[in-house]
Chains A and B, each alone.
Chain A
Amino acid sequence: MPSRGRPPRRRDDAFTALEDFVDLKLGHSNKDGIEVVDVEGEIDVYTAPRLRELLIELVNKKNYQLVVNMEKVEFLDSTGLGVLVGGLKRVRAHDGSLDLVCTQERILKIFRITGLTKVFGIYESVDQAIAARKAEK
């Protein structure tokens, strides 16, 4: 009887990514009084509304110090940037902050192109972001 398992896949097949589809995973936890949002996957016109909803929910629950960990983000477009800027706008209305953790050049590039490196605090680790925020207090 033939195997019903998937045939071996070549890593150079770009469509492998379609089958391994993880569009966007979101999580959050509190660390030293700062809400850390963990984002994994792709932030684009399809998935960005979910991140927007989470940020709004956190702000509505009076979390005004946010760190968005983007180390597992595979793709970010201008729609995602808009959501992050919107989140920053909301927390700043409460004298809060929204910092980013990102070391991936492919993601950092879009921040540079748009000039948003001047708007967001961008750190290499969550601990570094939290320490920097604490130091400002």
Chain B
Amino acid sequence: MATVEVTFPPLPAHVRTARLVATAVARRSGMDESLLDEVRLAVGEACSRAVEAHRRHCPSRPIRVALCDDGERFEVVVTDAAPADADVEPGTGDSASAESPAGRNGTASGAAAVAAPGGGAPLQLPAGVGLAVITGLADDVRISPAPDGTSVAMSWKRRSAIA
């Protein structure tokens, strides 16, 4: 059962609110301070992605964020209601809303995130960078179909559980 659930309309301004709630709940749950920035960034990435998908396909429907602490892991699940073919990356290119077929099956790779290291053209962030960042931050990431859309579940082990 989720410790805290938040739903918010798909407005970019509310992504910050979701980040703050996630960070606050993680801190209250006793997460190591060193992990709070990771939680904040990963939740922001997941919510940004969901907001962009909703704004294109179902702007009246809310996005759901569930935060759960089972004592050993802290898990955040961001669930959208956008159709399965609507996966997007929020504005990672030079345009305001670059659309992309980001990895729906959780195969995003941080190492593959940059296409042109060293300064050669083209210089544009490839698809799935947000998911790649999440993958690079969380201990475990699962991206799976939800009843109406997609859920991105990310979790962190407690530092004491790792040691």
Q: Mark B6-30, 1 if CB is under 8 A from A, else 0.
A: 0000001101110110011001000
Interface of A, helix, strand, loop or mixed by DSSP: helix
Q: Do residues A82 and B121 form an inter-chain contact, with CB atoms below 8 A? A: no
Q: Do residues B41 and A110 form an inter-chain contact, with CB atoms below 8 A? A: yes
Q: Do residues A18 and B92 form an inter-chain contact, with CB atoms below 8 A? A: no
A86: CB under 8 A from chain B?
Answer: yes
Bound-complex Cα distance A15 to B121 (A): 42
Which residues of the partner chain B approach A119 to less than 8 Å between Cβ atoms? 114, 116-119, 123
Q: Which of A27-35, A41-49, A61-69 contacts B (4 or more CB under 8 A)?
A: A41-49
Q: Do residues A79 and B91 form an inter-chain contact, with CB atoms below 8 A? A: yes
B47 nearest CB neighbor, chain A only:
A45
Closest CB-CB distance, B13 to chain A, in whole Å?
5
Which residues of the partner chain B approach A3 to less than 8 Å between Cβ atoms? none
B37: CB under 8 A from chain A?
Answer: yes
Which residues of the partner chain A approach B23 to less than 8 Å between Cβ atoms? 14
Which residues of the partner chain B approach A18 to less than 8 Å between Cβ atoms? 17, 20
Q: Do residues A81 and B92 form an inter-chain contact, with CB atoms below 8 A? A: yes
A12: CB under 8 A from chain B?
Answer: yes
A17: CB under 8 A from chain B?
Answer: yes
B111: CB under 8 A from chain A?
Answer: yes
Q: Mark A39-75, 1 if CB is under 8 A from B, else 0.
A: 0001011101100100000000000000000000001
Q: Mark A75-113, 1 if CB is under 8 A from B, else 0.
A: 101110111011011101000000000000010011001
A12 nearest CB neighbor, chain B only:
B27
Which residues of the partner chain A approach B45 to less than 8 Å between Cβ atoms? 77-78
Closest CB-CB distance, A34 to chain B, in whole Å?
18
A56 nearest CB neighbor, chain B only:
B94
Closest CB-CB distance, A37 to chain B, in whole Å?
17
Q: Do residues A81 and B129 form an inter-chain contact, with CB atoms below 8 A? A: yes
* CB-CB under 8 A for A77 and B123, given A14-B23, A118-B114: no
Bound-complex Cα distance A118 to B90 (A): 23
* CB-CB under 8 A for A77 and B41, given A114-B113, A115-B110: yes
Closest CB-CB distance, A68 to chain B, in whole Å?
15
Partner among B24, B48, B89, B133 whose Cβ is within 8 Å of the Cβ of A114: B133
B96: CB under 8 A from chain A?
Answer: yes
Which residues of the partner chain B approach A38 to less than 8 Å between Cβ atoms? none
Using CB atoms and an 8 Å cutoff, list the residues of chain A in contact with chain B: 12-15, 17-18, 23, 42, 44-46, 48-49, 52, 75, 77-79, 81-83, 85-86, 88-90, 92, 106, 109-110, 113-116, 118-119
Can you pick out 24 interface pairs between chain A and chain B where the beta carbons lie within 8 Å of each other? Answer: A44-B16, A45-B44, A45-B52, A46-B12, A46-B15, A49-B91, A78-B89, A78-B90, A78-B129, A78-B133, A79-B48, A81-B92, A82-B91, A82-B94, A82-B124, A82-B125, A85-B93, A85-B94, A85-B123, A86-B93, A89-B94, A114-B114, A114-B129, A115-B113
